[in-house]
Amino acid sequence: MKKQNSVFTPVARLALAGLLAGSLAMPLTASARIVGAALTTATGKVTAVDPATRTITLQGENGNTLNILAGPNVRNFQQIKPGDSLTLDYYESVAVAVRPAGSGAPEVVTESAGTRNPKGAMPGGAAGRQTTITAEIWHINKSANLVTLKGPQGGMRTIQVQDPALQARLQQLKEGDLVDFTITQAVAAAIHK
């Protein structure tokens, strides 16, 4: 496994549990600004397959091993053999957009998409989820670059804005405006001979 091993374990379990799909395309608000994004690729070699328990043992480049339970939704399980390679691409981004007061209410909205490879093909595919958390700007301290947000369940959180471009934008914001935080996560997995 290469790059971020900590990403490999949960993503591999998610992918092989049956959330394998083709692609994910969910729209972001036009005014959204991506404040963080990462693409990680991890690979592992299949060292053992237990058909009775549907368990796959993977070994990374550094020798660490991981047992993954492939749920009943993992199509074509019988084609996975020791020596095969599993490749995972994991993407995560966070986008922030501001809307005027009265254009909605604090809420959490999650959308998911997923499919899997067709019967007869090697197991693989992709899955994704996009969650938008909308909070209300409760208070702005422009001189200290502080914004207090009220979340969907009434919780309050004060954030210090450190990005100079966003600090300049604070001057345009008003209490009552809404802030959408959109988190997009997608994973693609494929078994290779």
- pLDDT value for 32: 66
Contact 112, 137 (CB under 8 A): no
* pLDDT for the residue 119: 86
- b/e string for 26-59 if b means 16 or more Cβ within 10 A? eebeeebeeeeeeebbbbbbbeebeeeebebbbb
Which residues on adjacent β-strands are paired with residue 37? Answer: 93
Residues of the chain under the 70 pLDDT cut: 1-32
Domain regions of the chain by residue span: 5-192
As a whole number of angstroms, the distance between CA 99 and CA 79 comes to 50
Contact 177, 98 (CB under 8 A): yes
pLDDT at 19: 25
Structural contact between residues 136 and 150, judged by C-beta atoms closer than 8 angstroms: yes
- CA nearest 58: which of 76, 40, 77, 85? 85
